[in-house]
Amino acid sequence: MSAGDGSTGRGIGASVLRREDARHLDGRGEFVPDIRLPGIRDIAFLRSPHAHARIRSITAPPGSKGRVFTAADLPRLTPIRVVTQAAGAKSPPWPPLATDKVRYVGEAIAVCVAPTRGEAEDLANSIEVEYEVLEAAVDAPKVWRGSRHLVHESWGDNLYLERTIEGGDIEAAARAAEITVTREYRMNRQSGAPMEGRAVLAYRDHRLDEVVVYASTQTPHTVRVALGEILDIEQRRIRVVAPDVGGGFGPKARLYPEEIILAALALELDHPVRWVEDRTEHLLTCAHTRDHHYKVTAYADRQGKVLGVDTDIIVDAGAYGLWPQGPYQEANMAGRTLPGPYTIPNYRARTYTVATNKTPLGPYRGVGRPGACFAIERTIDEVARAVGRDPAEVRIENMIRSEQMPYASIAGMRYDTGDYPASVRLCAELLDMPAIRARQKQGEADGRLIGIGFASFTEQTAHGAAEFASRGASIIPGFESCTARILPDGSLVLMVGIQSHGQGLETTLSQIACHELGIDPDHISVRHGDTESTAFGFGTFASRSMVMSGGAVARASRMLRDKLCRIGAHLLQCDAAETRCEGGAVHGPRGSVTIGEIAKVAHLRMDGLPPGVDPLLDMTATYEPQISTGVFSYATHGAVVAVDPETGFIELLDFAVAEDCGTMVNPMIVEGQIRGGVAQGIGTALYEEIPYDAQGQPLAVTFADYLMPGAAELPAIKIGHMHTPASATEYGMKGMGEGGAVAPPAAIANAVRDALAAIGGPKGAEVNETPLTPARVLAAIHKAKQKT
């Protein structure tokens, strides 16, 4: 039997238009706050106004019993505990509602229930809390050791984990160096800020004896695992549903106290309860992201060939660890990704994951990679400048060549396939580098300075057991599942454990099934995000869904195809080896029978089945790639900027991505993911920041202060593709969802560096901190001018 293929134009490689669009364009999307149930009561939280304080007393207003709950009123709430295998790691218990202490501004202290959200907020505002305010630990590089202000008193310091990643002999590299470049870099704290905040709706279903939790989450199955453990309820009595989710990007791939509290309240009260996060709550208490400090020293020869890199990495991880993975992977990823796509032979990364009195840090598109990319790509540019050569050339010379694949990096990453230097050349071509250089020579009438900069990176995707085990994780998202079910009329339902929240997986997974089964996507439904209707899966994050879930869909589809062909062969009275499944039918040498007809036999006329073949057309499969250390997409990003040296304002004139993610299932959707990621990377590069003051107060808690790029701030993003299939996945696919967000900060900072290369003399001005605000740019210009 042979497979159907994309020759119908609707399978792998086709830019099939999305089925998700119809409901959203019609205003019929169903996000958690859109769900209507009789008797819903709305929730508001009383949240800590202090970064660090003991709670002396909580006094709810008279008559509020049954409407105001503290930790003492909900004994069902046990602490969230991240379990890690990483040696020496500390993991603080996190009570969903604060008990004796609050450790960050926004930490939830009490939950209030009322007929409307406005009334619930009134109730929250009328609760009196007596605090003993304590000094806050705020400056991560200063407080991780030796501070009197401990976030967790029993620790003795403010260090979640200290870990060194090394290979080769860094001291030897230092001795051999002809050029030494040392820099400090800072990627400031920000938010993931999806357009829809978090939301939870919970109620008791008495017919099914379960508590139902609708949540705007990327990981419904693991949320169920957590709810079962923390509330001590068997998982068969919990249902978690992620309906339409208005963007996730990583912060929604973690468990939150609010999910546990709402479930507990639903059990306590006999009506549905709903919490819809407002934007201030989101900016205050949904996972914060990025917040890395780097010190990097690169040792090189006088051609710019890097002999070794030595780095200290500090991650400001906030007051608690987000379940399941905790804060540990951020520094781990940064340390192991920093060598980049380069053949660096000697390396040391000393990483420190620090506790502070700030919002807990969580994953956000790219996780540790944008910071690491910023650090290494800025450094490569500075090495090039130190030896007087073009950064693009020095970059290419240091890169791993395609003949060297698969390549084990000095930090233990196993790069599988790709041609990294080609991506640099393609990116420069997309931006028409000679034209930019000519323009720079000419100068601008308005006095602005033009610059062009590049940044290259690899993106570890669809990593599974081996990778997560090496991170010390105690929950290993190493596989995905698919149940593929053909119904009595021949239509197909794919039930998957991932959760599509903009990635178009309802469309692309059906393309894979189409490829295997020859059933058109218009006759395929994809069900996801619901623990009720799907086998266990981990959800959508870490650029894994296409490879992992797509692989499971492929396997389950092939299992179905085999059975269809066996039954079809029986109906066609031929041998199964003579059949093929294509165009919605099984074809034999002397005729065809439709999948619908086969399905009828398999369900309604099982007397027509061949001997030894059971009824139903229902297959469940799991999938993990053969290599569980990840398959690596890669790209080079390039930015062209105009910098106003009098104001520090930066305009992005052009931006290009030269990328390779192996086989693309739906090129249109791949490009959409790239552009969306790039826009977020530009946000990190130029706009987004949540600063904290010395008392631990966050200073950007509305969109008036927290700036995100709009359409007017972005150019049209150019994309060039290369195709080097993976060797270890179905169809040679690689994940790619995060890559767009990884390199823009580095590319833009390098472009600014290029624009300001002559400020104050040949050394020029540098900005090594994101976002590159006008104030930071002007300060760098001023500093460079002062040196002369």
Which residue of 77, 80, 129, 193 would you call a contact of other proteins, by CB under 8 A?
A: 193
Nearer to other proteins, 177 or 674 (CB): 674
The region of 30-38, 51-59, 516-524, 758-766 touching other proteins under the rule CB under 8 A is 30-38
Which residue of 1, 627, 635, 778 would you call a contact of other proteins, by CB under 8 A?
A: 778
735 binds other proteins (CB under 8 A): no
Residues 6+ apart with CB under 8 A from 501: 218, 242, 244, 245, 246, 247, 248, 252, 540
The region of 424-432, 454-462, 495-503, 634-642 touching other proteins under the rule CB under 8 A is 495-503
CB of 4: closest distance to other proteins in angstroms? 25
736 binds other proteins (CB under 8 A): no
**Short-list 756, 693, 657, CA closest to 454:** 657
Residue indicated by tokens 């006088």? 302
Nearer to other proteins, 72 or 694 (CB): 694
Token representation of residue 176: 């051999």
Nearer to other proteins, 26 or 607 (CB): 26
Nearer to other proteins, 253 or 314 (CB): 253
Which residue of 60, 91, 123, 196 would you call a contact of other proteins, by CB under 8 A?
A: 196
The region of 325-333, 342-350, 399-407, 647-655 touching other proteins under the rule CB under 8 A is 647-655
244 binds other proteins (CB under 8 A): yes
445 binds other proteins (CB under 8 A): no
Token representation of residue 622: 């799991």
Which residue of 324, 326, 677, 698 would you call a contact of other proteins, by CB under 8 A?
A: 677
Token representation of residue 635: 């790209």
Please check whether residue 149 is in contact with residue 143, taking contact to mean a CB–CB distance below 8 angstroms: yes
The region of 105-113, 311-319, 578-586, 665-673 touching other proteins under the rule CB under 8 A is 665-673
Site string for other proteins, 114-143 (x = CB under 8 A): --xxx--xx--x------------------
Nearer to other proteins, 267 or 668 (CB): 668
What are the Cα distances from residue 648, in Å, to 376, 589, 644, 690?
A: 24, 73, 5, 20
CB of 400: closest distance to other proteins in angstroms? 29
20 binds other proteins (CB under 8 A): yes
669 binds other proteins (CB under 8 A): yes
Site string for other proteins, 259-288 (x = CB under 8 A): -----------------x-xxx--------
Which residue of 24, 54, 302, 783 would you call a contact of other proteins, by CB under 8 A?
A: 24
DSSP per position, 91-137: ---B-SS-SSEE-STT-EEEEEEESSHHHHHHHHHT-EEEEEE----
The region of 287-295, 333-341, 514-522, 776-784 touching other proteins under the rule CB under 8 A is 776-784
- State how far the Cα of 13 lies from the Cα of 23, in Å rounded to an integer: 24
Specify the amino acid at residue 719.
Answer: I
21 binds other proteins (CB under 8 A): yes
Radius of gyration of the chain (CA): 27
Please check whether residue 322 is in contact with residue 82, taking contact to mean a CB–CB distance below 8 angstroms: yes
**Short-list 145, 144, 68, 76, CA closest to 108:** 68
DSSP 217: -
Please check whether residue 19 is in contact with residue 29, taking contact to mean a CB–CB distance below 8 angstroms: no
Token representation of residue 305: 């060939």
Query: What stretches of 250-371 adopt beta strand conformation (E)?
Result: 273-276, 288-300, 306-316, 347-354
Nearer to other proteins, 31 or 536 (CB): 31
Nearer to other proteins, 22 or 435 (CB): 22
- State how far the Cα of 6 lies from the Cα of 4, in Å rounded to an integer: 7
CB of 94: closest distance to other proteins in angstroms? 25
Segment 607 to 636, residues that bind other proteins, using CB under 8 A: none
Q: Tell whether omega for the bond before 771 is within 30 degrees of 0, i.e. cis.
A: yes
Residue 635: burial class (beta carbons within 10 Å; 0-12, 13-18, 19+): buried
Site string for other proteins, 138-177 (x = CB under 8 A): ----------------------------------------
* Count of residues of this chain found to bind other proteins when the rule CB under 8 A is applied: 78
CB of 124: closest distance to other proteins in angstroms? 11
28 binds other proteins (CB under 8 A): yes
Which residue of 140, 230, 494, 679 would you call a contact of other proteins, by CB under 8 A?
A: 679
103-134 burial, b if ≥16 CB within 10 A, otherwise e?
bbbbbbbbbbbbeebebbbebbeebebebeeb
678 binds other proteins (CB under 8 A): yes
469-507 burial, b if ≥16 CB within 10 A, otherwise e?
ebbbbebbbbbbbbbbbbeeebbbbbbbbbbbbbbbbbb
In 3-state terms the chain splits into helix, strand, coil percentages (rounded to 5) of: 30, 25, 40
Please check whether residue 631 is in contact with residue 418, taking contact to mean a CB–CB distance below 8 angstroms: no
386 binds other proteins (CB under 8 A): no
Nearer to other proteins, 247 or 406 (CB): 247
Nearer to other proteins, 121 or 480 (CB): 121
Please check whether residue 227 is in contact with residue 238, taking contact to mean a CB–CB distance below 8 angstroms: yes
470 binds other proteins (CB under 8 A): no
Nearer to other proteins, 22 or 604 (CB): 22
DSSP 237: G
774 binds other proteins (CB under 8 A): yes
Which residue of 87, 209, 775, 788 would you call a contact of other proteins, by CB under 8 A?
A: 775
Nearer to other proteins, 248 or 360 (CB): 248
The region of 86-94, 233-241, 255-263, 697-705 touching other proteins under the rule CB under 8 A is 697-705
784 binds other proteins (CB under 8 A): no
Q: How many helices (H) and strands (E) does the chain have?
A: 19, 29
- State how far the Cα of 674 lies from the Cα of 725, in Å rounded to an integer: 18
Nearer to other proteins, 281 or 660 (CB): 281
Segment 32 to 71, residues that bind other proteins, using CB under 8 A: 33-34, 36
Nearer to other proteins, 557 or 684 (CB): 684
Nearest-5° Cα angle at 543, 541 to 548: 90
